[in-house]
Amino acid sequence: MVNRPNEKTLPIGVRIRDGGVEINFTCKKQRYFITLPHPPTSEGIRAAAKIRSDLKTKAKWGILTERDIAQAKGIEVLENDSVNREQVLFQDVAQKFLKFSVANKDSKNGYRKILECHWMPYFALTPIANITTEDIEEVILDRNFQTAKTFNNCATPLRQVFEVALKNNVIQENPMDKIKNRKVQVEIPDPFTRKEMETLLSWLDQSLHDEDKFYRWYFELAFWTGCRPSEMIALRESDIDWFNGTFKINKSRVRGLEKKVTKTHTSREVYLNERSSFALESLIQFKKDQGYITDYVMLCPKTKEPFFNEKPPRERLVEAMKACKIRHRPAYNARHTYATMLLMDGVNPMFVADQLGHSLQMLIKRYTKWIHGDKNKQEIDKLSVARTA
């Protein structure tokens, strides 16, 4: 017996009409009604919903063609009328890139937005083989990217679209090969001093009450483990090894999405010290006192759900900095504070790198100023001695 879906359960914009499947959508004040050559079965409905989504995206980008609609209707497009290799449009390759990209969902959405905003208005209906390096450079000038980092981020999906075209023999060379990423100025870390850290923690301890007391222990753990915020809000009790005094960092939460990887795609084992251990115990006890039953160590006190992002704790630390008249820095810099405290105390840089999830080379590059502890001050003091001699 054919599995026919209930009319009430059909996806948005999909309906059964005259024994077939019809899709409809509105984009830029234009209404589209397209009857597809699919049976009104569950499989046919799923295929129709996917086709509707693809066509709607193309219409939104302004690249929906009569050929796309004809193909959706099942009308055979003659070979002479089809797009040959030299006429493959940029938008066709961009769609293929997005479809087969192995990037995570969040990154793919970012690529889609970049292509839609910066590159599709110029290249969508242009045969990709006709796009030259000079064409791209003109668009770059027109877009007037404000920072090197913004330009590099926007160039990434464009470069990969041309890589897809090259891989499929649609083009003979990648015009982006001659356009290099711009150099990004790397700022040195700006950690809190120990005195600033203790002042902030003291203010949080004295000023936050009831469920907001959670944030006092959140930052105690942040300052004394150096974990990234996305790693902390993904931490689970099952990650903790109390016997050996460690916990695993192998996942993260970004914009409400649980990722099975860290920012660097490298898992690590973080060692607990006296203060981080007490903070972790306090967070778990806080969760139990609130009656939460979950493996997550941290739940947002306001929503009682896993954190969507790190904005709520960040706002508490900003409030503390203002109240204590401490120069503003991102809450993320609690991580830098832990790293520099270890290095200033003479802890082996290889151990520090391992705890932060850095390579030793990256650690030395970022934290050279602190690796020698107070020796930097001693070196500059020699200059004063030499001048007075």
Q: What does the pLDDT look like over 233-242, one tens digit per residue? A: 999 999 999 9
Higher pLDDT, 304 or 247: 247
Is the pLDDT reported for residue 322 higher than 80?
yes
pLDDT in tens, 70-79: 888 877 655 4
Query: Considering only CA atoms, which of 231, 229, 201, 227 is closest in space to residue 216?
Result: 201
Q: Where do the domains of the chain lie, and which CATH numbers do they carry?
A: 7-73 (no CATH), 86-178 (1.10.150.130), 194-334 (1.10.443.10)
Token duo for residue 215: 């944030």
pLDDT band at 30 (very low <50, low <70, confident <90, very high): confident
For residues 319 and 58, which has the higher predicted lDDT (pLDDT)?
319
pLDDT band per the 50, 70, 90 thresholds, residue 80: very low
Residue range 328-346, pLDDT digits in tens: 999 999 999 999 999 999 9
Among 131-135, 274-278, 302-306, which is the least confidently predicted range?
302-306
Paired residues of 26 in beta bridges: 31
Question: What CA–CA distance (Å, rounded) separates 331 from 219?
Answer: 9
What is the pLDDT confidence band of residue 352, given thresholds at 50, 70 and 90? very high
Q: How high is the pLDDT of residue 82?
A: 42
Q: Give the pLDDT of residue 384.
A: 55
Q: How are beta strands 20-27 and 14-17 bridged, if at all? A: antiparallel
Q: Is 292 exposed, middle or buried (0-12, 13-18, 19+ CB in 10 A)?
A: middle
pLDDT at 106 over 80: no
High-pLDDT (> 70) share of the chain, %: 90
**SS3 sequence, the chain?**
CCCCCCHHHCCCCEEEECCEEEEEEEECCEEEEEEECCCCCHHHHHHHHHHHHHHHHHHHHCCCCHHHHHHHHCCCCCCCCCCCHHHCEHHHHHHHHHHHCCCCHHHHHHHHHHHHHHHHHHHCCCEHHHCCHHHHHHHHHHHCCCCHHHHHHHHHHHHHHHHHHHHCCCCCCCHHHHCCCCCCCCCCCCCCCHHHHHHHHHHHHHHCCHHHHHHHHHHHHHHHHCCCHHHHCCCEHHHEECCCCEEEECCEEECCEEECCCCCCCCEEEECCHHHHHHHHHHHHHHHHCCCCCCECCCCCCCCCCCCCCHHHHHHHHHHHHHHCCCCCCCCHHHHHHHHHHHHCCCCHHHHHHHHCCCHHHHHHHHHHHHCCCHHHHHHHHHHHHHHC
Tell whether the model's pLDDT for residue 149 goes beyond 80. Answer: yes
Does pLDDT of 56 surpass 70? yes
The predicted pLDDT at position 32 comes to 84
Residue 258 bridge partners (DSSP) = 253
Mean pLDDT of 149-159: 94
